[in-house]
Amino acid sequence: KNQVEQSPQSLIILEGKNCTLQCNYTVSPFSNLRWYKQDTGRGPVSLTIMTFSENTKSNGRYTATLDADTKQSSLHITASQLSDSASYICVVSDRGSTLGRLYFGRGTQLTVWP
């Protein structure tokens, strides 16, 4: 069964600190993995997208890693800001169908305190 599991479920950190969010998946055949940021009550916004051959991709203070062999990904946030408070969703796409199915994790709820 194709699944995406994220940990931790929620995380509280102080402003300026770093944190790492985890994503494990069983989706096969794998096409790509994306990290989205979703503010409360709004639609998800893409942070990074990585294909099978990419190990690391950065977007400002966000750095995503992918290990396709162990089917694990992480999102590292550096020097956190209050505006980073949001849900971070790991999304994996398969390539076994025309649709390019998207499988969503439940997200990690990050809260940054001043």
d(CA 6, CA 98): 26
Residues 35 to 54 in contact with another protein, rule: CB under 8 A: 36, 41-46, 49, 51
Q: Which amino acid is at 25?
A: Y
Residues 78 to 107 in contact with another protein, rule: CB under 8 A: 89, 91, 93, 95, 98-102, 104-107
- Would you give the DSSP letter of residue 82? G
Q: Quick one: CA torsion of 64, 72, 55, 81, rounded to 10 degrees?
A: 10
Task: Give the one residue of 19, 21, 23, 34 binding another protein; rule: CB under 8 A.
Answer: 34
Contact residues toward another protein (CB under 8 A) are: 31-32, 34, 36, 41-46, 49, 51, 89, 91, 93, 95, 98-102, 104-107, 109
